[in-house]
Structure 1
């Protein structure tokens, strides 16, 4: 009898999360929002496309980490576990309300950048990024992966 092998989708998802758990991947994603807002502020279409391309490629651009005990690795692993349990990312419950609040903050930051209001752009960008960091830290505190940094293979 041939043992059940994981589906292609399952293998790709596992590979995605393994590579995204690299602290360089998770950490460099924090540059995405400021770069996006700067591109909008300066009306730089090439920077906008480069930033969007970076956001798409970033989670798989780095190799899987040797260790996952850094905070950045733990929050990525916690996000994987959180989503795998069907908890979603937005809602009125804590901590998902933080991501819900992040939507208007991000839209306001984009509007401020478009209107070329530097103080508002930076201020609201900081609010949005704080909400995102708060959310990932909160889910890390609520999941085994976030507390231990141990990679759990689903195969």
Structure 2
């Protein structure tokens, strides 16, 4: 089972949830999760242990977001195709993806992981530069990854 499949299972992503998450409003509003988590973690300086409250709210938003919006009227949007491609990628152990799509998503997820480590370092140390640098790496790699998912979807669903 792929890591993506485990995460989808943890988030209870069924067919309806995937379709609702393909709504562009869901895709774009989900980009707020990382800044919310960073702000929640950083807020420990100002509000102490109460920082767990906005942290928990940000995590709940991560789970709730794919369920909040309705199915899109059309799946022709770039954002919708990125989610549908992500689902293809998640299921690649059952339905192998074309050879030319097998390396770059893993590399981009690795870059995302490195960015996440910088964010964690920055937040723990309350240091701006690693937090901002890590956030830039996370967003650049994630958006590039989503673009690759659009390409994957278009290649597998002509």
Whether the TM-score (by the shorter chain) exceeds 0.5 is yes
When the two structures are aligned, how many residues end up with a matched partner? 135
Equivalent residue for 2:74, pick from 44, 67, 78: 67
Corresponding residue of 1:48:
55
Tell me, yes or no, if structure 1 residue 80 matches structure 2 residue 90: no
Q: Deviations over 1:76-130 (max 9, x none)?
A: 1111122223369xxx922211102211210220220121112321221011111
Whether contact under 8 Å (1:75, 1:146) holds in the other structure is: no
Structure with more of its chain in helix, by fraction: 2
Corresponding residue of 2:130:
120
Tell me, yes or no, if structure 1 residue 132 matches structure 2 residue 139: no
Whether contact under 8 Å (1:140, 1:147) holds in the other structure is: no
* Runs (5+) with no aligned partner, structure 2: 1-8, 45-50
The runs of at least 4 aligned residues of structure 1 exceeding 4 Å deviation read 145-148
Corresponding residue of 2:37:
36
* Runs (5+) with no aligned partner, structure 1: 1-8, 149-155
Structure 1 residue 147: Cα displacement: 7.6
Equivalent-residue separation in structure 2 for 1:22 and 1:97 (angstroms): 26
Corresponding residue of 1:143:
153
Equivalent-residue separation in structure 2 for 1:70 and 1:15 (angstroms): 18
CA RMSD, aligned part only?
A: 2.4
1:113/1:101 CA distance change after superposition, 3 Å = same
**TM-score, normalised relative to structure 1:** 0.77
Whether contact under 8 Å (1:26, 1:72) holds in the other structure is: yes
Whether contact under 8 Å (1:78, 1:139) holds in the other structure is: yes
Structure 1 residue 146: Cα displacement: 8.3
Aligned residue for 1:52, secondary structure, equals: helix
Equivalent-residue separation in structure 2 for 1:146 and 1:125 (angstroms): 31
